[in-house]
Amino acid sequence: MQYFEDIAVGAKASFGAYEVTREDVIAFASKFDPQPFHLSEEAAAQTHFGRLSASGWHTCAMMMAMLVANLKENRQAGLGSPGIDELRWLKPVYPGDTLRVESEVLEARASASRPEMGIFKSRVTVFNQHDVAVMTLISNGLVATRPKDATSGS
Q: Can you give the pLDDT at residue 76? A: 87
Residue 124, classified by CB atoms within 10 Å of its CB into exposed (0-12), middle (13-18) or buried (19+), is: buried
Confirm whether 80 is domain-assigned.
Answer: yes
Any idea what DSSP says for residue 2?
B
Confirm whether 36 is domain-assigned.
Answer: yes
Confirm whether 76 is domain-assigned.
Answer: yes
Answer whether 49's CB lies under 8 Å from 92's CB.
yes
Distances (CA, A) of 103 to 28, 63, 109: 25, 11, 18
Cα dihedral 89/91/92/96 (nearest 10): -120
Confirm whether 40 is domain-assigned.
Answer: yes
- In this prediction, the residues of the chain whose per-residue pLDDT falls under 70 are 150-154
Confirm whether 23 is domain-assigned.
Answer: yes
Q: Can you give the pLDDT at residue 78? A: 86
19: closest CA among 62, 60, 71, 72? 62
CATH number at residue 112: 3.10.129.10
141: closest CA among 154, 123, 125? 123
Confirm whether 63 is domain-assigned.
Answer: yes
Q: Can you give the pLDDT at residue 154? A: 47
**Helix, strand, coil fractions of the chain, as percent rounded to 5:** 25, 35, 40
> What is the span of the domain harbouring residue 32?
4-144
Confirm whether 154 is domain-assigned.
Answer: no
Confirm whether 12 is domain-assigned.
Answer: yes
How many domains, in total, are found in the chain? 1
Q: What is the pLDDT of residues 97-122, one digit of tens each?
A: 999 999 999 999 998 899 899 999 99
